[in-house]
Chains A and B, each alone.
Chain A
Amino acid sequence: MIPVEYYVGLSAILFLIGGIGFLVRRNVLVALMSIEVMLNATNLALVAFNRQHAQVHTGQVLSFFVIAVAAAEAAVGLAIVLSFFRLKRTVRSDEADLLRN
C-alpha cells in the first residue's frame, strides 16, 4: 500500500501549483482552472486521510460536497467570465478594475 505521506505530498504539490497559478497568471480562465486544481488537491488529502480510518467515510463524503460546490462555482465563475468578456472584450483579470478605489 502506498503510504499516506505520498498522497499528502502530492496534494501539497498540487495545492502549491494551483495557488501559484492563481497568483501569477492573468488569464481568468486559467485562474479558474487553478482554483479547480486547489480544490482537487484538498479532495485528494481528504480521501487519503480517510483511508486511515476504515469505518469512517466522513472524508469521502466531504470530498463529494467539495466536488459539487466546485461544479457550481465553475458554472458561476464561467458566467462571470462571459459577462466580463462581453463588457471588456478581454479575459485578462488585471483589466477587471471597476471596483478600484
Chain B
Amino acid sequence: MTTETMTRPASSKRIEALDDVTVRFAGDSGDGMQLAGTQFTRGTLIFGNDVSTFPDFPAEIRAPAGTLAGVSGFQVRFSSHDVHTPGDAVDTLVAFNPAALKVNMSDVKDGGMIIVNEDAFDKGRLKQAGFTDSPLEDGTLSKYRVFRVPVNKLTREALKDSGLGAKDVDRCKNFFALGLVYWLYGRPMDTTIKWIEDKFGKNPALAEANKSVLKAGYFYGETCEVFTSSYQVDRAHLVPGKYRRISGNEAVSLGFIAAGQLSGKDVFYGSYPITPASDILHTLARYKNYRVKTFQAEDEIAAVASAIGASFAGDISVTGTSGPGLALKAEAIGLAVMTELPLVIVDVQRGGPSTGLPTKTEQADLFQACYGRNGECPVCVIAANSPADCFSCAIEAVRIATKFMTPVILLTDGYIANGEEPWAIPDIKTLPRIEIKHPTARSDGSAFHPYERDEHLARPWALPGTPGLEHRIGGLEKQDITGNVSYDPENHQRMIHLRAKKIASIALDVPEQKVMGPEKGDLLVIGWGGTMGAIRSAVERVQKQGYQVAAANVRYLNPFPRNLGQVLSNYKKVLVPELNMGQLRMLLRANYLVDALGYNKIKGKPFLISELELRIKEVLEGKN
C-alpha cells in the first residue's frame, strides 16, 4: 500500500474531527447492505482505525421485500483509540427503505445522521413498514439530521450509458451509498475499487458500472449542497505490526489448521450446515492442501460420530455446530468421554430454545456444554471472547483434547463468529507446539492396556494399524487399566472418579484467572465469552470515575481456573453480566458460595456499554 492511498482526497468542504463513530447500513436482505458494510470495514481498517463490526440479518434468506422481517443491517464502529464493541448507539444510519428506517431509527443518537434512499419511500413500502404517513414529512425524525438522497434515480443516472439492464443497474445502488459514506468519513476507496476489479474482472461492464456508481456516490457528497461538512477520524494507535481483518468463524478455522500443523497431524472436520457455524465448514473446505479433511455429514449426529471415528484412527478431530446441533451430539460426546478420545466440539451459540433466533446471538448453552449429557459426563469447556481470540482458543482446545484425551467444547457465539476486528497476526514461531505421542508397535506379545494412564491421567492414543496394540473400546463401562467391559460396582465408582479427576486436573495446566483493574476492591464484574468487550469498556468507564471495580473474563469454564475462588473473594460484590438467565452466576454460586449478582439480557443482541455502566453503578451504589 502506498502512502497516497491514505491521503484524503482534496475537499472543498469543512472537515470536523471525531474520535469514535458508529455507522449502520440497513436495508432489505437483497439490498446488499452486508456487502456495503464489509467493504466499508475493509477501507476503514486499512486506513488505520481500530474497528469492530456487528452484522445483523434475518433468518429468512429473502423475506418479502420491504417488510420489517426482511431488514438486514451491518454496523461498523471505528475509532482513533482501541474499541472492544461495535458501538452502542448509531451516529449515522443509512436506511435503504422505510422498513429499515423503522427497525433501526431508535438506535440512532439524538442529533445523529440518517441518510435515506428517498426513492424507496413510496406509498406501498411505507404501508408495508407500518407507516401511515411518511416519516420524512411528519416530524417523526425531528431529533435527527435527515438527508434524503434519491439513490435509485442517481444510480440510474450514473449508469444511463452503461448498457446494463435495469435490474443490473438497480443492484449497484448499495455502492452509491457506500461511496457517499466513504466521502462522509474521508475514507479512500482504493480497497473497494480493487475488490470490484477482482470480483467482476471477467465482466468489465459490471466492474465499470460498480466503480462508476461508487464514485458517483462519493462525488455526490462532495458536490451536493445538502452535506455541509464531512468528518475525520484519525488512525488508532495500534501496536505496530501486521494486521488482518478477521471474523470469529475465520479465526477458529485458522486455529484448527494451525493446530494440525503444530501437531503434525491431519485435521478432520465433520459438520452439518447450521447457522451461525456453517462458515467454519466453508472456510476449512478451502484448505485441503493443509491436510484438512472436511466432511459434510448427513446430520449433526453423523458429524460428531464421524469425527469420533477419525479421532480413533488418529486425526485431530473437530465437529462444529450451534446449540440445536450440540443437543443432537450429546450422546456421541458421552461416547467420546467413555472411550477417552480427543475431540473438539465448537458451539457457535445462537438464540434458543429450539430453533430460537438462528441469526441472533446469545450465550445460553453454558449449561448444555457443561451438563447436557446422560450420566456423570465431564468434559472440558472453554470460551472465546472476541473474533481474534477464536484463533488461540481453537489451538488451546486441540492442545487440551490431545494432552488429556478428552472432548473439549469450545463456545463462541453468533456475535463474535460474524463480527470482525483487526487481528495482530502472530509470529508462527511463538505458537505452542502440540506434542502428541502414540504408543508404538510391539511384537513381544505383552498385553496392551488401553486404559493405563499417564501422569495427566490420560490413556494412550493407540492407533489402528499399529501391530501388537489391537484393542477394543466402546460405550460400556470400562474396567480400569484393561479397558475390558466391566459391570463391577466398585470399578464403576472408581472410573467415574477417575474421569472427573482427569478433567479437574486440567486446571493445573491452564493459566490462573486474571483481572483487569485492582486486585481487590468493591466490585468484580465477571463474564465469559463474547461479552468481554462490553464488560471491559463499561468497567473502564466506571474506573475512570474513581470506583474500585475490576473486570474479568473467564475463558476456562470447566474446570474453572484454580485461583477463581480466591479472585472472587477479593471483592465486596460480584456482578455477572450474561446474555442468558444467569448460568455462569449459578455455577459461581454453587462452586464458591459467593452471593453473585446478575445482569441478564436475552434479546438476541450483545450488551451495550451504557447499559452495563448503568447496572455497575447501581450495584456500587448499593442497589442489588
Co-assembled chains A and B: no
